Structure 1
């Protein structure tokens, strides 16, 4: 085994949420491997820990069956080029962070070639496509999971697994400072604020933005004191969204578009309209009432809606095993319906108090030193485990 100074690791994160989760792992790993070369595909948060991205992360930020097909040739080309590079380089390990379709396709040939592979965050095999466990077994040397119930699934399948807790449960405060968040983004201390998170991927923006903006317009008509804040994941997303607002004649609408800073936007909010995905759990960790909405290409929806194992799609609802917050999907995600649901989340005081308590309990259940746990798992995988 090479000395720590000679270690090379490869990682791939496919979108902003994966970039954030990977940065938590790197924060725990860098003190042990300060001189290691770590490269692959990732974003700005990973770069803060010396990660080098060989391709822009945005190339992988596509969601939906048919949307992926449109970009298949480019994505497949990147995957093949990175695979060939890593087979020649032979890093000490490859760590795939989320992006399961892309990363499992890399991990399988790397593992077969004797390169240890780790996957950080299990795909939702407990929610749909449970048969993927066989594919995972062929691709993954060690799985890191973020929900306690996932450990047993992998143990039964004979796949080494470590529960590391949900990383953002450590980052997000138990009691967010609403006043500070509002000051930080120039919002007035008084009045009510709704954060709108239509998704970080361009494909999500294109399907969700119109309904989400329409819901904001309808809610503003009913609730005169409400302001809106919308964080955008990147320059392309911001340009798309601001163009949509301009074309809709909403240049003077009380809506503030932010460059990133989604956590600040959520902390500042009284309620959140959020696209289904990991952001829903972030909203829960901030203890905010929310409405989950989602739209996708019709053909993708018709296929995927028949593949689920349980009635919920939002992570807070899945963890609670009940509909804690509303889910309005596809045809149900109309501006009027979203506005109706948001109005309830803003104005039902008893519901807001119950939600806050449930989300506090959820936050405690997900707390663990994820940076340390995940880093120790990587060090064990490459034979360099350090003491606690």
Structure 2
């Protein structure tokens, strides 16, 4: 999502821009040439990363070698510092400008990463206004650019139009379920949110639920609904997460970017997360 919003802004400024690397459908909509689909890297937690380490390391190595052959004007690594910083350092050492978008939370934990970033990147694009000063004090160029979601979500939430689009009446109480966008997240979080929805429906039979699904993952969600939320008045949406947030009265949401989206839509939320027990420790 963040990469697609950034790419959209870049294409607006430089319409002839060519962009390639690792990305998903939203980026492809802007003409992005996806050498690898982004969901190949969509893992989180120590156990999950270890399980896929060989594949992820192989993609990173192959990406680095291909970029060195292509010699782009710049490489922009979006978030994912454990994947991107080593790659950025390799490219920077070979004269390719390395830019990192979305600063790691060096101000909150693992602060020593800022030292690694000094050798890895030419510039950091920050989403929080206090971050550039931290980098400046460590000799790293950084610019506050704000969060692209602030431009993507209107100040005046289109609640009425969104409720009409989702066939919700003014009298309906709607709950949006957002269990995450990665397959590994959905596998752990969706059953919890669906179980909560079933209990809420039992206590308040009039409730309506909407669940936006990332394109391509409907087949993962549908059996979970049958198992954990059979009989729940639930509408499954293909994408349309912003409509769901605009229309709902409250959201049960996985911790992550979606919580910021819910805040920008001015929706009250209950934030949840779940993962492999070993990763949790």
Which of the numbers 215, 218, 239 marks the counterpart of 1:238? Answer: 218
| 219-228 or 25-34, which deviates more | 25-34
**Structure 2 gaps, min length 5:** none
Counterpart of 2:19 in 1: which secondary structure?
Answer: strand
**Structure 1 position 206 matched with structure 2 position 187:** yes
Q: CA deviation at 1:217?
A: 1.1
**Structure 1 gaps, min length 5:** 1-19, 303-388
**Structure 1 position 275 matched with structure 2 position 260:** no
Listed one character per residue, the Cα deviations across residues 74-99 of structure 1 (whole Å, up to 9, x for unaligned) are 11111111100111221110011112
Alignment partner, residue 43 of structure 2 = 62
Counterpart of 2:67 in 1: which secondary structure?
Answer: helix
Write the mapping of 1:79-228 to structure 2, written as runs, cut at 5 A.
Answer: 79-228=60-209
Q: CA deviation at 1:31?
A: 4.0
The verdict on how the C-alpha distance between 1:151 and 1:211 changes in structure 2, with shifts beyond 3 A counting, is same
TM-score when normalising by structure 1 = 0.70
Counterpart of 2:76 in 1: which secondary structure?
Answer: strand
Q: Is the 8 A contact 2:197 2:232 kept in 1?
A: no
| 289-298 or 99-108, which deviates more | 99-108
Q: Distance in 2 between matches of 1:199 and 1:166?
A: 19
Q: Distance in 2 between matches of 1:225 and 1:246?
A: 20
Q: CA deviation at 1:238?
A: 1.8
Q: CA deviation at 1:216?
A: 0.8
* Runs of 4+ deviating beyond 4 Å: none
Q: CA deviation at 1:224?
A: 2.4
Q: CA deviation at 1:22?
A: 2.2
Listed one character per residue, the Cα deviations across residues 14-50 of structure 1 (whole Å, up to 9, x for unaligned) are xxxxxx2223322332244332321111122222222
Counterpart of 1:30 in 2: which secondary structure?
Answer: helix
Counterpart of 1:257 in 2: which secondary structure?
Answer: strand
Alignment partner, residue 385 of structure 1 = none
If asked which structure has higher relative contact order (CA below 8 Å, sep 6+), I would say 1
**Structure 1 position 76 matched with structure 2 position 57:** yes
Q: CA RMSD in A?
A: 1.4
The verdict on how the C-alpha distance between 1:170 and 1:33 changes in structure 2, with shifts beyond 3 A counting, is closer
Q: Distance in 2 between matches of 1:256 and 1:118?
A: 41
TM-score when normalising by structure 2 = 0.95
Which of the numbers 218, 238, 259 marks the counterpart of 1:259? Answer: 238
Q: CA deviation at 1:161?
A: 0.4
